[in-house]
Amino acid sequence: MLNLFQHLTFKYVNMREILKSKISAVHFSIVFATAFLLCAFLWFLAIPLVYWLAFGEGQMATKISELPINIFIGNWGALIPIFLICLLGTLNNRSRKRFSNAKSYVMTFILIFILYLFRLSIGDTIIGFFD
């Protein structure tokens, strides 16, 4: 039982170390820009293109696209790969004790998630600005 407690405490200390560490600005910029561009690519191009190629156009395609699983994939499909990449990057850097790089992945996911929640209003603002 004590060994389990020490193991959990060690993981807790690593997360505390990640949150206390200073962030590397260069690494954070690269990770954030890559994650942002990948998320934008998936949301704007890849997911609609795959749906169009798979279902085509017409009444049946409209019925299929209104299924709850397809609505979920359309809304959150671009964020799931970003979450997995950031999670794997955090775990990899935490195991190698590079806490500043792990914090870059954590902060990237938090910022991408916040921006993703407001993606429609941000897009409308940008389109309205150039209109």
pLDDT tens for residues 27-76? 999 999 999 999 999 988 898 888 888 887 878 778 887 888 888 888 89
* Domain span holding position 25: 2-130
Phi and psi, residue 77, nearest 5°: -65, -30
Q: How many domains does the chain have?
A: 1
What is the reported pLDDT for 8?
47
pLDDT of residue 13: 53
Q: Is the pLDDT of residue 2 over 70?
A: no
- 84-122 pLDDT per residue, tens: 999 999 989 988 888 899 999 999 999 999 999 998 898
Question: Is the torsion defined by CA of 84, 89, 91, 92 positive or negative?
Answer: positive
